[in-house]
A and B are shown apart, each in its own frame.
Chain A
Amino acid sequence: MSTITGGTQMTDAAGAGASTAATVTGAPRRRRPRPRWWLYVVLTLGLVAMVMPFVWMILGSFKTNAEIRQYPTNFWPLDPTIDNYTQLFGRLDFATFFTNSIIVASFVTLGNIVFSSMVGYALAKLEFRGKRLLFLLVLGTLMVPGVVTFVPLFVLTANLGLVNSYPGLILPFLITPLGVFLMRQFMLSLPDDIIEAARIDGAGEWRIFARVIMPLCGPAVATLTILTFLASWNNFLWPLVVATTEDKYTLPVALALYSVGQNAAQYGLMMAGAVVVVVPVLLIFVVLQRYFVQGIALTGIK
């Protein structure tokens, strides 16, 4: 908005100063940018393409099997039914998978907030030997993909006797380099004066951390909470490897295994399963979308 206004003023001035020169350069044509209706059209078509799978998923979850076998498939469910959801939470145990996902994501999020904040504080505000090394370790593993570590991680988990257990699902994700990086970046922006003042008042570092620093970290903690919870909620490869019986499946694992198993052809049922995984996340996202943008801002790029 401001770019456009600024630009218009500039060309106005140029036009007023030397109208002939302005005509030659074609500046007056850009004086008042035409409403770019075609951009709206293109962006709206793109938007439809982006959200259509979600719409299709929700509509499909209310369709009967008979309706699904028709071709061409109706867009709107002719005979809306909640039978798919009844089956999902009755015949299949989606309530358990949902609870598992919540449990795992909650502990993972809590761990990340506590541990990332602690090490973030040390990296941002304390001076100590080995600080550079510690930070390099964090940065170096920022981009190590899960596929590289999952085999030895599984051997380790098996030897600790944690296969098919909540600790096995949770422990490897209690810390993430990204979380540390995010908290450090945010804490760097907090003024040193308040810490100095607290030190002069005789507060120890732990007290300063808990009573002075953390209360100021609300926005960073909110961002970290959302990003970590979602990452855990959507996490797939590790739960797929570690959860070996149904009572420990998380939602994506259950959904993936059912979708390639004997329920694969149950279109409506699978759509309902996808809705249960996706829609809560979409709602959270729409309500809290500014924190997502903030997360990207905090982790390095302006």
Chain B
Amino acid sequence: MVALSPSAPTPARAPARASRRGRRATLVAWGFAAPFLILFLVFMAGPIVASLAMSFTDLTTRDLQTPFNVDFVAFENYVRLFDDPRFLRSLLNTSIFVIVGVPLTMALALAVALALNTGIDRFRTVFRVGYYAPVVTSIVAIAIVWRFILQPDGLLNAFLGWFGIQGPEWLQSTTWALPSLILMAVWRNIGTLMVIFLAGLQGVPKEHHEAAMVDGANAFQRFGNITLPAMRPTLLFAAVITGIGFLQFFEEPFVMTRGGPLDSTLSTAMYTYNQFGFGNYSFASAASYVLFLAIVALSLIQFRLLGRRD
């Protein structure tokens, strides 16, 4: 465990000495980890466990000063949750958001990454910076800008007007509000995946492409048979992190629609926040744990689908 110094003691005394040193090394190492560990247990691990525990109680805002003086209600919160049409609606909205948004973001980001990687050799940095810029900006600020762009007399409808198209009232329409938020989320997340895919493309063996070109494979065949298989781990990683992010969408409806019109953009995270705002802490915890389980489940499904087949 511990490297022996040149002045090693005689073999007979070595084990006792080494174990004493091992203990000391362990102590020093935990010393390095201590501040992290304390903060971690108090502010991260603790709340994760507490959230689960709270979801089985009737804790509300009145119990804030005495959080341990509450009743155990078993699965009552969860039963009520799945009886609430608004919660079910929020699950549906979140599912649509993920099922449409994640593949769309991945496809567009992959297209951009491929174009930047193989198709062009000038202005690559300009494109990379431009496509990545939305990622680093505050969702709140961006959502406000998009709210004005999507107004009935906003920039987007003015643009569509050039082509003689009468755009809908994007955010005020139960049909178009959710697609509008998806559009914005895709816009915001392309950059992250583009950078990840660009990195992944560096790992695709060039020799394979060259060999395939000599054999006469066209660009689509090479993409399907060489690039995609080699990119599998990257695609998996991208799908997982994007899925986790999209499942939690909150800022967009908070700023742009407040979950409306008629709950058509109410997300599960937003529902959780609303219940918290009403003071229903245990109920909000239960809702957040359903979301947490959905995140775990989605990650597992994606590992199954995209993970190594062998």
Binding site for B on A (CB under 8 A): 1-4, 6-7, 10-11, 14, 25-27, 30, 36, 39-40, 42-43, 46-47, 49-54, 56-57, 60, 71-73, 114-116, 118-119, 121-123, 126-131, 134, 137, 141, 143-156, 158-159, 171-172, 174-175, 177, 180, 196, 199-200, 205-206, 209, 230, 233-234, 236-237, 241, 251-252, 255-256, 259-260, 267, 270-271, 273-274, 277-278, 281-282, 285-286, 289, 292-293, 296-297, 300-302
Contact = CB atoms under 8 A, between A and B. Distances in A.
A4 B213 CA distance: 11
Interface string B58-92: 01000011010000000000000000000000000
Interface string B10-27: 000000000000100110
Given A153-B43, A209-B32, 4 more contacts: A73-B153, A237-B273, A277-B141, A285-B136
B297 interface: no
Interface of A, secondary structure class, is helix
Contact of A147 (B123, B233, B291): B291
Contacts of A49: 187
Contact of A122 (B29, B134, B216, B251): B29
A237 B284 CA distance: 14
A72 B67 contact: no
A225 B46 CA distance: 26
A153 B47 CA distance: 6
Contacts, number: 316
Nearest to B289: A148
A149 B44 contact: yes
27 contacts: A7-B209, A7-B210, A43-B127, A47-B126, A49-B187, A51-B130, A53-B187, A60-B145, A73-B153, A115-B36, A119-B33, A127-B2, A128-B28, A130-B30, A134-B33, A134-B37, A147-B292, A172-B44, A174-B43, A199-B5, A233-B138, A237-B251, A237-B273, A241-B276, A273-B141, A274-B144, A302-B199
Contacts of A131: 29
Contacts of B146: 53
Contact of A282 (B118, B137, B291): B137
B138 A252 contact: yes
Nearest to A171: B43
A175 B36 contact: yes
Interface stretch (B99-107, B169-177, B200-208): B200-208
A130 B33 CA distance: 11
Contact of B132 (A25, A271, A292): A292
Given A73-B158, A171-B43, A147 B138 contact: no
Contacts of A277: 137-138, 140-141
A154 B277 CA distance: 12
Contacts of B1: 127
A130 B112 CA distance: 44
A140 B285 CA distance: 20
B138 A289 contact: no
Nearest to B200: A301
Nearest to B23: A129
Given A50-B187, A128-B30, A148-B289, A36 B120 contact: yes
Contacts of B127: 43, 47
A3 B118 contact: yes
Nearest to B5: A200
Of A30, A128, A252, chain B has the most CB atoms within 10 Å of the CB of: A128
B32 A152 contact: no
B299 A143 contact: yes
B56 interface: no
Nearest to A286: B129
Nearest to A275: B141
B26 A129 contact: yes
Interface string B163-206: 00000000000000000000000010011000110011011001
B266 interface: no
B141 to A, nearest CB: 4
Contact of B51 (A46, A57, A152, A296): A152
Contacts of B47: 148-150, 152-153, 156
Nearest to B281: A151
A152 B26 contact: no
Contacts of A40: 120, 123
